[in-house]
A and B are shown apart, each in its own frame.
Chain A
Amino acid sequence: AQKITQTQPGMFVQEKEAVTLDCTYDTSDPSYGLFWYKQPSSGEMIFLIYQGSYDQQNATEGRYSLNFQKARKSANLVISASQLGDSAMYFCAMSSNAGNNRKLIWGLGTSLAVNP
């Protein structure tokens, strides 16, 4: 069965510093996708970054990068140069790439607070 684990319920970071949010996963599928989403206090779910299991390069999107270590089954999110607006819940999620069903399995999230 697929599982996502986010071990950090809460994190603090100083504005302009970098922060790493941890995510480990478990799956028996040979092909899968890993996602990070941001949920601010307003409640919407905002897509940040995607990594395919066969992608050779670690994904990057602006200040977000995904540190993908396949052997360790980890997909940590790195946010560089934190901003006050980054304060939010962050969710790691995974989908199987076997078949056409792309339902996402989610972690419990990490609450990030950026201090001025």
Chain B
Amino acid sequence: NAGVMQNPRHLVRRRGQEARLRCSPMKGHSHVYWYRQLPEEGLKFMVYLQKENIIDESGMPKERFSAEFPKEGPSILRIQQVVRGDSAAYFCASSPMAGDNTEAFFGQGTRLTVV
């Protein structure tokens, strides 16, 4: 039973390029949360998605960032025209149903470096 899978583990982009981060939730999980961890800081909530729906995007920057969770395939966090300040670890967590929070299953994260 595979856990939450994130890829790539490490991603290097030049300023101005696009970054696509993928998250495949655990089997049977239809709820995904994305978090960002800046260096030396805790995680910050970005967005909460269910299949084909964005439920809460209150933590997403207003520009350049978008997220989706299609009916088929992984959830994608997309960052357009990356800047140095986007360098961070991005974590995805999944849960089986709405309102289930006894344990949030995290992926290993994607470390984005913008050069």
Chain A residues near B (Cβ < 8 Å)? 4, 33, 35, 37, 43-47, 50, 52, 91, 93, 95, 97, 99-109
What is the interface of chain B, defined by CB distance below 8 A to chain A?
Answer: 33, 35, 41-45, 48, 55-56, 59, 89, 91, 93, 95, 98-106, 108-109, 111
B59 proximity list for chain A (CB < 8 A): 103
A-B Cβ contacts below 8 A, count: 66
A43 to B102 alpha-carbon distance, docked (Å) = 22
How many Å lie between the Cα of A97 and that of B102 in the bound state?
10
Task: Say whether A91 contacts B104, CB under 8 Å.
Answer: no
A91 with B99, Cβ < 8 A, contacts A35-B104, A45-B91, A45-B109 known = no
Task: Say what secondary structure dominates the interface of chain B.
Answer: strand
- 10 A-B residue pairs with Cβ-Cβ distance under 8 Å, sorted by A, are A4-B42, A45-B91, A47-B104, A47-B105, A47-B106, A50-B102, A101-B48, A102-B104, A106-B35, A106-B44
Please state if A100 and B99 are interface contacts (CB–CB under 8 Å): yes
How close is B109's CB to chain A, nearest CB, in angstroms?
Answer: 6
B33 near A45: Cβ-Cβ < 8 Å: no
Q: Which 5 A-B pairs have the closest CB atoms?
A: A100-B98, A106-B42, A102-B101, A45-B106, A100-B99
Q: Which residues of B contact A47 (CB under 8 A)?
A: 103-106
- CA separation between A18 and B96, bound complex, in Å? 35
In the assembled complex, the Cα of A45 lies from the Cα of B95 at a distance in Å of: 15
Q: Does A108 contact B42, Cβ atoms closer than 8 Å?
A: yes
- Across the interface, name the chain B residue whose C-beta is closest to A37: B106
Pairwise interchain contact B89-A43, C-beta atoms closer than 8 A: yes
* Residues on A with beta carbons closer than 8 Å to the beta carbon of B44: 106
- Judging by beta carbons under 8 Å apart, are A95 and B43 in contact? no
Residues of A within 8 A of B56 (CB): 101, 103
Please measure, in the bound complex, the distance between the C-alpha atom of A76 and the C-alpha atom of B102, giving whole angstroms.
18
Give Cα A33–Cα B106 distance, bound, in whole angstroms: 17
Q: Which residue of B lies closest to A91 (CB)?
A: B42
Q: Which residues of the other chain, B, contact A46 by a CB distance below 8 angstroms?
A: 106
Additional pairs, 5, CB under 8 Å, beyond known A101-B56, A109-B42: A91-B43, A104-B43, A104-B104, A106-B44, A109-B41
